[in-house]
Every structure is written in C-alpha cells, then in structure tokens.
A and B are shown apart, each in its own frame.
Chain A
C-alpha cells in the first residue's frame, strides 16, 4: 500500500482524473472531497463490502421459491 501524508486542503491525484482532497480533520475523523468522473463509482468501503456480501448470499440462496406466499399479506406481516 502506498502511504502518503497530507495536510488539510492538500490532495492526491489518482490516475488522470480522480482527486481526493483532505477537507477537514477533527479528532479521529477526516472529511474527504472526491472529484471523479461520473462513471467512477465512489463508495464507503464497509457499505460497498456489505452489499457485495449480501449479493453473493442472495445469489446463493435464490434456489427455491416454492413455499413463498403468493401475496405478501398471506404471511404474518
């Protein structure tokens, strides 16, 4: 992993068109500003990972829908 030290208002450039700027440091929190092309998705890593994991689980468990209620109201709700 590349490790760089930056101060507030300083930034790093990734590739040719992604810039990450340190906006604010308060206690143990850092606010970052990210400039990236529209087609580049930017996510908080833990949320991204949670969705990846859940997608994999959803794909694995999508085996049998028999026994599913035809209407949602058919089960206790």
Chain B
C-alpha cells in the first residue's frame, strides 16, 4: 500500500477481488480488481493518476467514464473517436495502427476525452489529438500524443448542418 498524505485519496476495501472505491459522481462503487486499468505514465497533466476504471454512462450511450480509482473527484467523459471520424484508426501513426488493426486488435480499444462547456452540452468537443489507447487484455492504458496530425484537441462533436 502506498502511503499518501492526501485526505481525498481512497482507501480501498478489498474482499474476494472486489474492491470498493469512492467516487464523487457515482458514490461508492464495487468493482472487480480485474477491471482496473493501469496507466503507467499517468494521464497528461495528472502524472500521479495511474489507476482507473471504465464506467458505462447509460446503457446504449456513446459516452463512458474513466474514473480514477485513487481520486474520488477525478473522472473523464470518453467516447470512441471512430464515431466522429470513421477512419480515425487509419490516420494514427503506423505503430499504433498496428496495435489497433493487427492480430491483437480485439484486445485494444481507443477512446477520446470529451470536454463539455458548462451548460452547453451541444458545444461539447472531443480531443482527437490525445487519444486514450487501452490494452484490455493486459489492462494497460496510455494517452497518445499524435505528432504530424491535423486533428485538434477541441474537435466539435456536433456540427450544425442547417
């Protein structure tokens, strides 16, 4: 167990592989340890946040949450960038593309963080420049920083067509 001085941080209770984590948005939730995804490098801007769990938003919703296991108040809204750009994976650097399209592709998932301007849900943007790639088999996640990309950190999710 790591020693930490932050009072905000969770103390995980564990029984039979099920751990209880405290979250600000979802209250106390019980998850199996196997669902924890390790981010060895943390999330950019949050280098100490190395353990997360993916939570469904609502059944059928395109959105999900990346909830920190250690900080109750830290969670990101995510969605699949493929819903925004159907050829997104084809535009990734070769090394990442191989992971996501190769033989092991079924083990990998790619997400993008969503930013929601307060009170203006329809103006939400998605960060296509820093996708989150998760190896579901090894339970390892990483945020990529795409080089030589025309993608933006604030790509509009909804485009007016009228």
Interface members, chain B 45-63 (any A CB < 8 Å): 45-46, 57-58, 60-63
Interface size class of B (residues with CB under 8 A): 35 or more
Q: Are B77 and A51 in contact (CB under 8 A)?
A: no
**A68, B60: Cα distance in complex, Å:** 12
**A52, B127: Cα distance in complex, Å:** 11
Interface members, chain A 34-77 (any B CB < 8 Å): 41, 43-44, 47-48, 50-59, 61-63, 65, 67-68, 70-72, 75-77
- Please count the residue pairs between chain A and chain B whose beta carbons lie under 8 angstroms apart in the complex: 98
Q: Are B162 and A76 in contact (CB under 8 A)?
A: yes
Query: Which of A57, A58, A72, A77 has the most chain B CB atoms closer than 10 A to its own CB?
Result: A58
22 example contacts (A-B, Cβ-Cβ < 8 A) are as follows: A43-B147, A50-B129, A51-B127, A51-B143, A52-B44, A54-B113, A55-B130, A55-B143, A57-B115, A58-B77, A61-B116, A62-B65, A62-B75, A63-B25, A65-B63, A70-B60, A71-B60, A72-B157, A72-B158, A76-B158, A76-B160, A76-B161
